[in-house]
Homo-oligomer: A and B are copies of this chain.
C-alpha cells in the first residue's frame, strides 16, 4: 500500500499560507490581482478559468477577466495585452493559448512581461528555469510537481530521478528544477531505449509522457515515489486516468500521486502563488 500524495493537502497548506500573505500585502496597500486574457469561449479555457477564479477567491486575490470575442482584431488584442502589461494594478497575466490563427501567438507570448508571466510561458521565464534565476515564473505544472515533493518531504538532494517526457511545460522544466535541488536527473523520451531500466534505477519517477496508462509495473520497483502528471479521459473505464497504471503501481511503490486528486489541482494553486509573489515584489 503506497502512501497517497494527495493534491488537496498541498492546496490546503498553500491556501493558508497565501491567505496570510495576501492579508499582509493588502495592509500595505497592495491588492494582488490576476488578469485573465481570453479570446473566444473554448470549453477548456472556461473550465480552467472557473478553477482559477475559485482558488483566487479562497485566498483574497482579485481576478479581472478580459474576455475578447473570437474575431477580435490582432491590433485590438495586442492593445489589450499592452494595457495589462502597463497596468500597475495587475500583477499577473494568464493568457489562454493557443490564440486564434489570425493573432501571432509567438509575438503575444513574448510581448507578455516576464515579471507578470505567472503561467511561465515566455522565453525569459524559461531562461529563468534553466539558469535558476527569478526572471519570470516556472510553468505551473512543473512547479506543482515540485511543490508536492516538498510538501510531503520527499528528499531530493543526491537522489536519482527519472523524468519521462521532455515538453517545455513539464518535462524539461521539472528536470531543471529537480537538478537545482541537487537531484541527479535523467530525461527519458520517445527515443530513449529501455526506459524501464532507467526508471527502475531511480528513487523518484516523474511521469509526463502524455500517454494514458503507459507506465505499468515493469517500470517500477518498491521504495519509489511516483509523480503522475498525466490526466486523460478513459472512455473504456469511464473515468479520468493518469499516465501511470495506478492499479499496478500503487501496490509496488512507496508513494504515488492519485489521478485525479494529485498534481492537477495543485497547478491552479501555483498560478495563484505566482500572482501573490509578483504582488509581493511590488512592496520591496
Give chain A interface residues in 101-131, CB to chain B under 8 Å: 123-124, 126-131
Q: For residue A160, which residues in chain B have a CB less than 8 angstroms away from its CB?
A: 193
A136-156 interface code vs B (CB 8 A; 1 in, 0 out): 000000000000000000000
CA A130 to CA B129, docked complex, whole Å: 9
Q: For residue A187, which residues in chain B have a CB less than 8 angstroms away from its CB?
A: 179, 184-185
CA A146 to CA B145, docked complex, whole Å: 32
Interface presence of A186 (CB below 8 A): yes
Interface presence of A283 (CB below 8 A): no
Contact B179 A184 (CB under 8 A): no
Give min CB distance, A114 to chain B, whole Å.
Answer: 9
Contact A185 B184 (CB under 8 A): no
A178-216 interface code vs B (CB 8 A; 1 in, 0 out): 010010111111011100001000000000000000000
Please name 19 further chain A to chain B contacts, defined as beta carbons within 8 Å, in addition to the given A157-B191, A172-B176, sorted by A numbering: A123-B128, A123-B131, A126-B127, A126-B130, A126-B131, A130-B130, A130-B168, A130-B172, A130-B176, A158-B191, A166-B179, A179-B187, A184-B186, A184-B187, A184-B188, A184-B189, A184-B191, A184-B193, A185-B187
Which A residues lie at the B interface, using CB under 8 A? Answer: 123-124, 126-131, 135, 157-158, 160, 166, 168, 172, 176, 179, 182, 184-189, 191-193, 198
